[in-house]
Amino acid sequence: MTVAVLAAEPGVLSMYHSTFPFHLEGGGVLPSLTIAYRTWGELSPHGDNVIWICHALTGDSLATQWWDAIVGPGKVIDTNRFFVVCATMIGSCYGSTGPRSIDPITGDPYGTSFPLITIRDMVRAHIELRKELAIRRIRAVVGGSMGGQQALEWAVMEPDVIAAAVPIATNARHSPWGIAFNASQRMALEADPTFFDNRPDAGTRGLAAARAIGMLSYRTHALYNGRQRESDDIISGFRAESYQRHQGQKLVERFHAHAYWTLTRAMDSHDVGRGRGGTGAALRAIKAEMLVIGIDTDLLFPEEEQHFIVDMVPKATYRRLRSNAGHDAFLLDQDRLALLLQSSPIFS
C-alpha cells in the first residue's frame, strides 16, 4: 500500500509513505520508504512547468528559505509560474527515511547500521515521489553540489522525463580529492567516543569537528583572510578559530552525526558511469538541455569537472559564477547566480 499526503498550502511540509520494500543499489533493503517534501505553485494543464530542486548535503526541502533569492514569487524560479518541488533526500535527518528512522526489526533508530545508499538510490526515491504526484515531465531539475550530482544522475536515468538539467558546482563522478575530504570528516565523527551510540545526541563533538574540516573545502583562502583575520589580543584567540567552532556548533544544533556520516558515504558513491560503460558514455547519452554552472574559486568541485560535463553532454552550455566565496558561492552569492539562471531560456 502506498499513501501520499499532498500539501494543502504552498510550502507546507508533506510526507510520502510507501510500505513496499525499497531495494538499494548496494544490496540493502529499506522495508518502507518515507519522503518529506514541499511544493509551491500549481501544475499547469499540460504539466510542462515543473521545476524540481535537489538540495545539497545538509539542506532540506525548504528551498524558499535556503535559496531565498532564487525561489519565490517573481524570482528566477518563479512560484507564480512554475510548479516547484523540493524533496529531502533519503539518508538525511529532515523527515525522509534515514539513520534516525525506526528499524522495524529492532524497534530502535537505525543509527550507524543504516544501509549504504547512493546518489542513484536518492534519485530512484525522487522518481517514486514524481510518479505519486502524477508528474510526467520535468521542465528542469536543478541542484548545487550534492544536489547537482542528483540532477545529473536523474538526467541519465529518465531521459524522456527530464527536459533540462541545471547542475551547479558539481561533478559526474566524485573525485578522490572530494572523497578524501569526506573520509577526513568521517574520521572526525568516528573519533568521538559517543558516535556509535544509538541516541539523539550521539557524535555531537565529532560532528562539530567534521563540519570544521568541511568548511575548509567550502570556502577560500581569500575569504578567510578577508573576514576571519586575527584579533589584536592573542589571549582571546583568533577569529578564524572562533569561526570554525561557530560553524561546527551551528550544524550540531540542526543536524545529526549519523546522517552526516551516511550522506558523505553516499556522495562518495557518485558516478553516473557505473554500470553504463563509463562516465563519458553516460553523459553522451543525456538528451536534456543542460546549463552547467561552475564557480571560479571552487576548491572542492573545480571548474575542470564542470567543463568535462559540458564537453560530454550533447546539448550543454557553461556559465561561470565569479565569487571569492568558493564552493558555497551557490548559496552565498545568490544574486549573481540568479543572473546566470535568468540568462537561460530554461527559466523564460
pLDDT in tens, 52-95: 999 999 999 999 999 999 999 999 999 999 999 999 999 999 99
Residue 225's pLDDT is: 86
Chain segment 160-194, per-residue pLDDT in tens: 999 999 999 999 999 999 999 999 999 999 999 99
Contact 168, 330 (CB under 8 A): yes
- Among 16-30, 49-63, 143-157, 236-250, the minimum mean pLDDT is found in 236-250
Per the residue annotation, which of 271, 298, 323, 344 is the catalytic one? 298
Q: Are 301 and 170 in contact (CB under 8 A)?
A: yes
pLDDT at 8 over 50: no
Can you give the pTM of this predicted structure? 0.95
Q: Among this protein's residues, is 145 annotated catalytic?
A: yes
pLDDT at 238: 84
**Topology of domain 177-267, per CATH?**
Rna Polymerase Sigma Factor; Chain: A (1.10.1740)
Q: State the pLDDT at residue 4.
A: 46
Percentage of the chain with pLDDT > 70?
Answer: 95
Q: Does the structural domain 2-175+271-347 have CATH classification 3.40.50.1820?
A: yes
**Polymer length of the chain:** 348
Q: Which entry of 145, 217, 269, 344 is annotated as an active-site residue?
A: 145
The more confident residue out of 1 and 73 is 73
pLDDT digits (tens, 9 = 90+) for 234-287: 666 788 899 999 999 999 999 999 999 999 999 999 999 999 999 999 999 999
DSSP 164-185: EEEEES--SB--HHHHHHHHHH
The residue behind cell 543542460 is 290
CA triplet 126, 182, 15: central angle to 5 degrees?
Answer: 25
Mean residue pLDDT of the chain comes to 95
Is residue 256 among the annotated active site residues?
no
DSSP-derived 3-state class of residue 317 = strand
Strands (E) in the chain, as ranges, are 2-4, 14-18, 22-23, 29-30, 33-40, 50-54, 71-72, 77-78, 83-87, 140-144, 164-168, 289-295, 316-321
Q: What is the pLDDT of residues 91-143, one digit of tens each?
A: 999 999 999 999 999 999 999 999 999 999 999 999 999 999 999 999 999 99
Residue 22 phi/psi, 5° resolution? -110, 110
Domain boundaries, the chain: 2-175+271-347, 177-267
Q: What's the confidence (pLDDT) of residue 1?
A: 42
Catalytic status, residue 298: yes
